[in-house]
């Protein structure tokens, strides 16, 4: 009898230990970067180097929104923490930066900057099955084909260049368009957007010239495009390369209508180019940061003043702020039992969502569409400020 009882007790003990091991294993396999108190988000962007303005401002805008959410209790009681590492806008540094974030076991990624780096990160995120939300680039490779783990917020460069060509072709009558672009994935992405918009009208650029990325050695490219006598020139690059193009062109007495896309970093460009930025057309993917009659722009201004009181408001940090809003909305919709797949499904459930950026900027996603916005806002630099317009005749060179 005693022997039978002992066997029974030993059997119960084995079952108990088995359950304990199973439970421990399950706990150990929980969602990375998520605890009862915290959600860890990772970022790689240009925090150092020539394009650091774009990275630091994007991250600061996102951090400001996270701080506001945390002070209000977080998401389902969890505080948001952002780990931001530098890749210097250098494709060669992307693997190291990504691996650092994976070692930290972040839950999701966000607030990445630049096309040459993004094209490296996209397959990394897809292969690791980790959400990547909000990239400061509009390269078409982000949108087509659909990437399950990549969530875009901004309009694409195809959207921006289409707006530019439509405005110049239809209203200004400018049909001789040139392009100056850097020899990298960013330059190629915008160039292809210009070509596609012109092809729809049975045309092509009258002249195209490239320059080495991240340098001011642009004289040859300027001379090549100038020789074709274009009505307007789309100039591609961050502010540290576009500003020298404007200055050198004007110094040579060449003053066509110059245009660029939102990646340039509008406020930094105006600062670096000074008077030479006057009259340049820059398409934007978020409203001007001084339009505080828009609910979210006003919230952005108040939040930045509170958490980054010495920061100057600008288009870039506003975009980082908006990207963070989208990520948080997705986290809320994903529910308390947070998973990476749940975050993707949460964002995909957002349809015609009013983010407080004006009636034309409604946020929409689906399982077949991961681009939140497609609206573009053209602006022209007047008196040291990017001024929005709807009539392209106001952008004609003076």
Q: Is the pLDDT of residue 119 over 70?
A: yes
Domain count, the chain: 2
Amino acid 216: pLDDT: 82
Taking residues 183-194, report their average pLDDT.
Answer: 97
Query: Do 171 and 261 belong together in one domain?
Result: yes
Query: Do 300 and 223 belong together in one domain?
Result: no
Mean pLDDT of the chain: 93
Query: Do 242 and 388 belong together in one domain?
Result: yes
Taking residues 179-184, report their average pLDDT.
Answer: 97
Q: Quick: pLDDT tens for 213-245.
A: 988 889 999 999 999 999 999 999 999 999 999
Q: Is the pLDDT of residue 28 over 60?
A: no
> Has residue 5 been placed in a domain?
no
Amino acid 70: pLDDT: 98
Q: Is the pLDDT of residue 7 over 70?
A: no
Say whether pTM exceeds 0.75: yes
Tokens of 132: 């990547």
Q: Is the pLDDT of residue 136 over 80?
A: yes
Query: Do 275 and 250 belong together in one domain?
Result: yes
Query: Do 384 and 243 belong together in one domain?
Result: yes
Amino acid 9: pLDDT: 52
Amino acid 215: pLDDT: 85
Query: Do 171 and 240 belong together in one domain?
Result: yes
Which residue did the predictor score with more confidence, 8 or 123? 123
Q: Is the pLDDT of residue 19 over 60?
A: no
Q: Is the pLDDT of residue 317 over 80?
A: yes
Query: Do 216 and 138 belong together in one domain?
Result: no
Taking residues 357-382, report their average pLDDT.
Answer: 97
Range of the domain at 235: 158-284+378-395
Query: Do 75 and 101 belong together in one domain?
Result: yes
- Here the CATH number for the domain that contains residue 328 is 3.40.50.2300
Amino acid 24: pLDDT: 35
Query: Do 105 and 227 belong together in one domain?
Result: no
Residue 171's pLDDT band, with cuts at 50, 70 and 90, is very high
Query: Do 42 and 142 belong together in one domain?
Result: yes
> Has residue 169 been placed in a domain?
yes
> Has residue 29 been placed in a domain?
no
Amino acid 243: pLDDT: 97
Amino acid 4: pLDDT: 59
């Amino acid at each position: 009898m005693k022997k039978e009882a002992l066997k029974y007790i030993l059997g119960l003990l084995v079952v108990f230990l088995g359950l304990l091991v199973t439970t421990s294993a399950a706990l150990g396999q929980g969602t990375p970067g998520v605890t009862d108190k915290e959600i860890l988000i990772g970022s790689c962007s240009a925090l150092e180097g020539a394009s650091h303005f774009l990275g630091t401002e994007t991250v600061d805008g996102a951090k400001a929104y996270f701080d506001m959410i945390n002070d209000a209790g977080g998401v389902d009681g969890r505080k948001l923490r952002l780990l931001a590492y530098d890749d210097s806008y250098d494709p060669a540094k992307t693997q190291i930066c990504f691996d650092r974030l994976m070692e930290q076991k972040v839950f999701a990624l966000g607030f990445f900057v630049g096309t040459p780096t993004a094209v490296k990160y996209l397959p990394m995120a897809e292969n690791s099955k980790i959400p990547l939300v909000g990239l400061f680039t509009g390269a078409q490779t982000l949108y087509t084909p659909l990437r399950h783990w990549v969530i875009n917020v901004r309009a694409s460069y195809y959207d921006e260049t289409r707006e530019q060509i439509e405005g110049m072709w239809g209203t200004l009558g400018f049909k001789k368009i040139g392009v100056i672009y850097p020899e990298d994935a960013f330059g190629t992405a915008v160039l292809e957007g210009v070509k596609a918009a012109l092809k729809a009208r049975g045309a092509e650029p009258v002249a195209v010239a490239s320059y080495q990325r991240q340098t001011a050695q642009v004289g040859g490219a300027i001379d090549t495009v100038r020789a074709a006598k274009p009505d307007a020139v789309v100039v591609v690059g961050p502010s540290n390369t576009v500003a020298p193009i404007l200055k050198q062109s004007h110094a040579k007495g060449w003053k066509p209508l110059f245009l660029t896309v939102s990646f340039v970093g509008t406020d930094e460009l105006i600062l670096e180019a000074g008077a030479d930025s006057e009259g340049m057309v820059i398409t934007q993917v978020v409203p001007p940061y001084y339009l505080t009659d828009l609910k979210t722009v006003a919230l952005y201004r108040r939040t930045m003043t509170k958490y980054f009181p010495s920061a100057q408001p600008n288009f870039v940090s506003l975009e980082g702020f908006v990207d963070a809003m989208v990520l948080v909305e997705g986290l809320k919709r994903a529910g308390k039992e947070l998973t990476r797949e749940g975050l993707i499904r949460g964002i995909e459930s957002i349809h015609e969502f009013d983010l407080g950026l004006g009636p034309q900027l409604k946020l929409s996603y689906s399982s077949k569409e991961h681009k939140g916005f497609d609206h573009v806002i053209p602006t022209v630099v007047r008196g040291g400020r990017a001024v929005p317009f709807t009539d392209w005749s106001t952008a004609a060179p003076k």
